[in-house]
């Protein structure tokens, strides 16, 4: 009789795992936010906080883990190692705990206390990196740790791992087509690893080449939009193709913060700052249309950001 480990069993039959709850998130209409738009223009957002780990990052984390397990990359007690700004780490730790996989993360020390507490609660080992170096600093530390002990770690490398964008190609993109009955005309997504934009965008463009793909990034290398990268001044993810998007919109930290408040009070959606940035860009795109259906992605809810000082300045 063949002895099968828990990780192997779950990899073979994912319907028994927590990861079976990942995806198929609601697509919500932004009715009040788009009240001043042309009556033939609609805005909608994927509510990714409905994933079990609380963010869109459950999708690539699940796919990366599945690929690593099927390829034997996590055999012999290897530890999954990666850099994170928070959400991807929570997804790794959530799914890793269900699979019995140890997780070590490099994360800027400036990450919100809520994120750090959640990660520790889930059992992740944390290596706090220089907050002034942001996500790039965490990437460099993870690379160094792997270089020093390659036999100890499986370096998931979310910024360069094709399983990242492929997760969105096989889930996020098809869900958007199905939930809009194929009527989506514009897709707006923030740039972090770029996995959401590249994966869902590729699927949508294949489905209908007329769909416009719009990327969103902060308007400055120094910003308060946790989870997003100013691509032109940061370490560029290998999975990102700068020529892919039809348009690149830059959003200020202040505008994203203001939009977070608007979404909470006008739509009843308490979201994170990267969702606010996505909504700013989506509204800008929609305002220039006479007709169309603009779909964006809200990566997470706002609960992990309650300690941020900008909340105190809100009316």
Q: Out of 42, 46, 57, 229, which one is annotated catalytic?
A: 57
Q: Rounded distance, CA 287 to CA 306, Å?
A: 31
Q: Is 57 a catalytic residue?
A: yes
Return the residue matching tokens 């909340």: 311
Interaxial angle between packed helices 87-99 and 58-70, expressed in degrees from 0 to 180 and rounded to the nearest 10: 40
Q: For residue 23, report the phi and psi dihedrals to the nearest 5 degrees.
A: 90, -175
DSSP, collapsed to helix, strand or coil, labels residue 82 as strand
The conformation of residue 301, written as its DSSP 8-state character, comes to B
In whole angstroms, how large is the CA radius of gyration of the chain?
Answer: 19
Q: Is 46 a catalytic residue?
A: no
Q: Out of 55, 171, 194, 274, which one is annotated catalytic?
A: 274
Are 127 and 107 within 8 A, CB to CB?
Answer: yes
Are 272 and 23 within 8 A, CB to CB?
Answer: no
Residues labelled catalytic: 57, 274
């Amino acid at each position: 009789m063949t002895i099968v480990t828990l990780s192997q069993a779950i990899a073979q039959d994912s319907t028994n795992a927590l990861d079976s709850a990942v995806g198929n998130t609601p697509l919500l209409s932004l009715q009040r936010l788009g009240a001043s738009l042309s009556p033939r223009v609609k805005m909608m957002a994927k509510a990714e906080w409905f994933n079990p780990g609380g963010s869109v990052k459950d999708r690539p984390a699940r796919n990366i883990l599945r690929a690593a397990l099927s390829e034997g990359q996590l055999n012999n007690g290897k530890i999954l190692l990666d850099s994170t700004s928070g959400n991807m780490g929570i997804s790794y730790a959530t799914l890793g705990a269900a699979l019995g996989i140890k997780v070590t993360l490099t994360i800027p020390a400036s990450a919100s206390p809520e994120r750090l507490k959640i990660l520790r609660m889930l059992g992740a080992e944390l290596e706090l990196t220089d907050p002034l170096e942001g996500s790039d600093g965490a990437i460099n530390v993870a690379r160094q740790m792997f270089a020093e002990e390659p036999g100890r770690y499986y370096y998931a490398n979310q910024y360069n791992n094709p399983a990242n964008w492929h997760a969105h190609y096989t889930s996020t993109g098809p869900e958007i087509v199905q939930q809009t009955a194929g009527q989506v005309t514009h897709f707006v997504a923030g740039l972090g690893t770029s996995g959401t934009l590249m994966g869902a965008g590729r699927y949508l463009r294949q489905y209908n080449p007329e769909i416009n793909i719009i990327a969103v990034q902060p308007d400055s290398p120094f910003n308060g939009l946790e989870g997003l990268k100013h691509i032109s001044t940061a370490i560029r993810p290998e999975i990102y193709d700068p020529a892919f998007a039809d348009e690149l919109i830059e959003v200020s930290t202040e505008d994203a913060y203001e939009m977070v408040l608007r979404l909470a009070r006008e739509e009843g959606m308490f979201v994170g700052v990267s969702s606010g940035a996505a909504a700013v860009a989506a509204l800008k795109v929609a305002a220039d249309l006479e007709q169309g259906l603009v779909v964006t992605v809200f990566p997470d809810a706002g609960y992990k950001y309650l300690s941020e000082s900008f909340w105190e300045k809100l009316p």
